[in-house]
Structure 1
C-alpha cells in the first residue's frame, strides 16, 4: 500500500488534534514547528476535508500531501488535486495562492511535478 507524504506547519492549525491522524516522520523546529507526515493512500480522501477545517483562517497557509502520482494542496477554503504528470496543473494553485497573499516563492509550482 502506498502513502502520501507532506509538511504541516503547526502555526497553520487551529485544531492540532488532526496531527493524530498522521504518522509523524520528523519534527523540525526552525522559525516555528513543522511536521513531515505520511498517511496511507486509502485514508487521504477522508482526511482532506478534516485537514481543511483544522486550518486557521488568517494568515493564509496551505498544506500539501503528495505521492508519486498526485499532489494535494489544501487551503482553508479550497483543495486542489494536481496530477504530477501534468506540471501545468500547478498554475491554478499558484494563481490562487498569489490572490490569497502568499508570496510566489512559497507556492507549489511546476518544478514539484515528476
Structure 2
C-alpha cells in the first residue's frame, strides 16, 4: 500500500563545522518545523545529493575548505538547481552581504550563531 501523503520538505545544512550543523539541526527540531534535515560537512556531497533530494531550503556557510559558499552557489546556478538559500556565516562583512544579493537563490543572510527565533523566521 502506498502512502499518498506529501513528504516533509528537505532542508540541507551545509557547513564544514559539525557542531554548527548539529546546533542548527537542534534549533530546527526545537522550533517544530516539519522538515527532513540532511547535514553535510563537505559541500561537494551536498551538490551530489541535490537531484536525489531536491531540498526546498539550504543553510549555507561561506567559508569552507573544499568548496566555499560562493563556489557552491555558482555550481547550483550552473546545474540549474533551485532551492531557497540562506547564507549562515560568521562573516558580517558588508561586501559579503552585497555579493549575496547578486544571487537570486539567496533569500536571506544570517550571522552565526542562529537562535530558535531566527530559525522560525527563516521558514515562516
Q: TM-score, normalised by structure 1?
A: 0.37
Q: TM-score, normalised by structure 2?
A: 0.35
Instruction: Select the structure of larger CA radius of gyration.
Output: 2
Structure with larger RCO (C-alpha < 8 A, sep 6+): 2
* Structure with higher strand content: 1
